Structure 1
């Protein structure tokens, strides 16, 4: 049976979701492993510094894997890049499970990280290139919801194994990673390659066949399929004419403002990572242990994971309705508020006011709910939308690498901050969330509901926009038998001046034809 239409969209989203579930599981699994006494014995009773390295070195592997993926994904294709990432991750999982000392565990963590880094850089690109424009946010938000489910699975699995003695309690959770990796690799064989990658590499017939499966009952002559294909073809032809494909082009302004987009992609991921989420995620059990037993702390951590999931589910229904920018604002304001309250509560607990403990727990969970409903998905969705086809894999690999770099930085500095300045740690991250409102307001354009090719026009210079719209007009003329009259109507194949869509209605007030309506980079 050949998947097509909504079933194919759903299958692609589900595969991406498994990838993010694996990502989340990897993120959460070590919090319980490092607390296991048998693990501590096998690692030779490592110092806090060495234990921190065992945990954090994974992010360096992810950073390297993400950074290497751009060229690999462009050469091999999105699906083969995902399979390669899964293969490396499974090898790393086996090595972690079999580790007998700290050096072996460190190497295994790096290998696992490389595989996961490759997947986290490739999967959002694949999903964005297959998803329908008006539901792209919802599809990515569903996948990132599974990221939180993965974290919750790790927490609850380790909570159950807390009552099990012996090596099984820490080796099994590490081995279980391989199950998700194998499932993801197998799923990729049942799904088509990205139509944009196919078109860019000269596989025009295959591209049209995939579009026919996505947008019709496998009819390559369906008007919607033809329109989508022409839009993709025109965009790729112009990119190839401008010779846009190298890493050097990512850092040049040029006609497509690529440097601006890199700053947005990297900036969005750093905002997510330096907004306090990993201060909460990595050290939430430790924070809870300051006022309760290890058993109860793990239980509270598991409950917090469920709250996190509810927040993530919320984003599925809001991200395409409210748009990216509104969720960015709401997330930053809410995170700043809740971190400030958590910091105040920790101060009160520190001076002996135990009554502040319940409030501290509630607002930690409120922070995670807010993050799950906003920046969890936004930081992964936005970079996959804003780059051109020729540079999407490379640009997204850089933004994903920035995510892992930020992850590593927080993992390294958070323990030092907690030890030296205590509750001020939360207050500092609260302040940073308010600072991030400034670049979001001035520099992040809205992408809600637009095709990837239309998002391209938000950033492009006027000359490039005119070329694209002119070519679309010619293509529409061939389809309808008459030239379209308003260049903003081309996408809809309208050939009547009376029914033409006004440019302002098509682009909106903030996406004028002169490029980004933001200061500093246009």
Structure 2
């Protein structure tokens, strides 16, 4: 079967797995404010079932938190299991398994008869998202040339933003449908990208590093040549990368312990801490809270009905547009600078929102704005418009920085022998914090009101300091060179981007040290390949 070798086409297909997460976010954020949803899953005085009443209050705030949190709760378990699936069946196949699980969950969500069934369906959907969100970055990073690795892995975040935007407008359009079809149709349409992803993966190659790990060297060499040199097996960069993979595999054969406990050994613990911190901090920025519950925030600023939904959708458009800058420049910018700049800017907007709310806002009437308990604070006039503007600026600051880098960075930190399991653990830390925030933010809006912004502002301050002292630069290095960086113990603030160096190597201009190493091994590699061909 013909396999696709263009890394951009490979990426475009693979990152549909990220789009699944985006579909889930906006299928909930756009629907929770509609009367059809509120009345069907109502826990207020009107009783359950859609009955045409226009003032249903919907699920209680803690129950709505549980419904929303079911997806990241499932993602936490899915991410943990993904490492085992990926190491055993391959990166490609494990993502296909995630597609099948997504379709099962979507069927249950679409057919939900009560809150319990909705929660179970969203949990199963989350299990799929956990698998895909953990293994798509691993898969793409192991295929990509080093100079394009950030761009193509960062495309996962762009796919998430597109998923959010597309599903939001689908859900918004369906909100004009009478009855429960208003939310069942968008929940059912969620299956389409998973089906497309499953079919597309059939035409994509397996990760060359996974093939090498399973002693399939000919296939590994073929994939490297296909993706990096248009099929030229003897291209200098292909030979160099094949040798670096071979050296890493030989090292790993003499260090056979590849259980999860490997991650907690002294030489790996710092990397685990950085990878987990990247994913945890990306949640503690408050971005996904903004995505899930933006209608509550804009409701406090005086927007309601269609005006609220349209204003909310603008941030999704900003998210898509600003992520493009990361796809173009992220490998030149590196990893540290975007994290530091993004953290600083988001911190400013969070504190600004807290100050505006505290200074110009006031408690909402009992029961919240428009009888929405989560909208427990109100602000109007120019200060309200400033809150909306700061929210948009927050999204614009996150989109080209923490958004893509939080997916790019963790797979770059770990050696091949533990990469699948390590990224599974780091991604699971993302989902457990997503779960906690999804569950606790609605009650937090009810109980501490504008002070929620202060909490996230403090998180952003801490993360920016943490990045400066502990997060080394990995851009412009092969995955094997990143391993050397950690073994040498170079301080994080002394590391730098080596984009031009790696671009020269990919073009066939290899530095003297690498060239000497390549000459030492080129003959044995070619001899071994010839022997294999002769035997065949």
TM score, norm. by length of structure 2: 0.84
How many angstroms apart in 2 are the aligned matches of 1:305 and 1:195? 35
The alignment status of 1:180 with 2:193, answered yes or no, reads: yes
Task: Work out which of the residue numbers 437, 460, 465 in structure 1 matches 2:464.
Answer: 437
Task: Work out which of the residue numbers 291, 294, 319 in structure 2 matches 1:281.
Answer: 291
Q: Report what 2:355 is aligned to.
A: 344
Whether the 8 Å contact between 2:62 and 2:439 is mirrored in structure 1 is no
Q: Report what 2:428 is aligned to.
A: 401
> After superposition, what is the alpha-carbon deviation per residue over 1:354-387, rounded to whole angstroms, capped at 9, x for unaligned?
2211111111000001100100011111111111
The alignment status of 1:302 with 2:313, answered yes or no, reads: yes
Q: Report what 1:325 is aligned to.
A: 336
**How much has 1:40 moved relative to structure 2?**
3.4
Residues 163 and 349 of structure 1: is their aligned pair in 2 closer, same or farther, counting only changes over 3 Å?
Answer: farther
Give the aligned length.
Answer: 469
How many angstroms apart in 2 are the aligned matches of 1:276 and 1:405? 14
**How much has 1:50 moved relative to structure 2?**
1.9
The alignment status of 1:114 with 2:127, answered yes or no, reads: yes
Task: Work out which of the residue numbers 174, 186, 189 in structure 1 matches 2:202.
Answer: 189
**How much has 1:237 moved relative to structure 2?**
1.2
> After superposition, what is the alpha-carbon deviation per residue over 1:385-411, rounded to whole angstroms, capped at 9, x for unaligned?
111111111000011101111111111
> After superposition, what is the alpha-carbon deviation per residue over 1:473-495, rounded to whole angstroms, capped at 9, x for unaligned?
xxxxxxxxxxx997566567699
The alignment status of 1:418 with 2:431, answered yes or no, reads: no
Task: Work out which of the residue numbers 195, 208, 215 in structure 1 matches 2:228.
Answer: 215
How many angstroms apart in 2 are the aligned matches of 1:51 and 1:423? 20
Q: Report what 1:54 is aligned to.
A: 67
Residues 144 and 107 of structure 1: is their aligned pair in 2 closer, same or farther, counting only changes over 3 Å?
Answer: same
Q: How does 1:116-515 map to 2 (within 5 A)?
A: 116-253=129-266, 257-290=267-300, 291-351=302-362, 354-460=381-487, 487=513, 490=516
Residues 284 and 76 of structure 1: is their aligned pair in 2 closer, same or farther, counting only changes over 3 Å?
Answer: same
SS in structure 1 of the partner of residue 351 of structure 2: helix
Unaligned runs of 5+ in 2: 44-58, 363-378, 490-509, 522-536
Whether the 8 Å contact between 1:44 and 1:101 is mirrored in structure 2 is no
**How much has 1:322 moved relative to structure 2?**
1.3
How many angstroms apart in 2 are the aligned matches of 1:286 and 1:232? 50
Whether the 8 Å contact between 2:151 and 2:327 is mirrored in structure 1 is yes
> After superposition, what is the alpha-carbon deviation per residue over 1:74-129, rounded to whole angstroms, capped at 9, x for unaligned?
00000110011110011000111111111111111111111111111110100100
How many angstroms apart in 2 are the aligned matches of 1:414 and 1:54? 13
The alignment status of 1:16 with 2:14, answered yes or no, reads: yes
Q: Report what 1:473 is aligned to.
A: none
Q: How does 1:76-87 map to 2 (within 5 A)?
A: 76-87=89-100
Unaligned runs of 5+ in 1: 463-483, 496-522
> After superposition, what is the alpha-carbon deviation per residue over 1:219-259, rounded to whole angstroms, capped at 9, x for unaligned?
32333322211111111111221224111111101xxx211
Residues 238 and 40 of structure 1: is their aligned pair in 2 closer, same or farther, counting only changes over 3 Å?
Answer: same
- Larger mean CA deviation between 266-275 and 313-322 belongs to 313-322
How many angstroms apart in 1 are the aligned matches of 2:324 and 2:354? 27
How many angstroms apart in 2 are the aligned matches of 1:155 and 1:455? 39
Root mean square deviation of aligned Cα = 2.1
SS in structure 2 of the partner of residue 355 of structure 1: helix
How many angstroms apart in 1 are the aligned matches of 2:400 and 2:427? 20
**How much has 1:42 moved relative to structure 2?**
3.6
Whether the 8 Å contact between 1:418 and 1:425 is mirrored in structure 2 is yes
How many angstroms apart in 2 are the aligned matches of 1:485 and 1:67? 40
How many angstroms apart in 2 are the aligned matches of 1:180 and 1:234? 38
Task: Work out which of the residue numbers 82, 98, 101 in structure 1 matches 2:114.
Answer: 101
SS in structure 2 of the partner of residue 460 of structure 1: helix
TM score, norm. by length of structure 1: 0.86
Residues 407 and 488 of structure 1: is their aligned pair in 2 closer, same or farther, counting only changes over 3 Å?
Answer: same
> After superposition, what is the alpha-carbon deviation per residue over 1:129-156, rounded to whole angstroms, capped at 9, x for unaligned?
0111011111122231121111111221
How many angstroms apart in 1 are the aligned matches of 2:170 and 2:518? 51
> After superposition, what is the alpha-carbon deviation per residue over 1:43-85, rounded to whole angstroms, capped at 9, x for unaligned?
3533332222111111110101001111110000001100111
How many angstroms apart in 1 are the aligned matches of 2:518 and 2:476? 14
> After superposition, what is the alpha-carbon deviation per residue over 1:296-334, rounded to whole angstroms, capped at 9, x for unaligned?
110001111111112211111221111100111101100
> After superposition, what is the alpha-carbon deviation per residue over 1:3-28, rounded to whole angstroms, capped at 9, x for unaligned?
565xx211211022211112211122
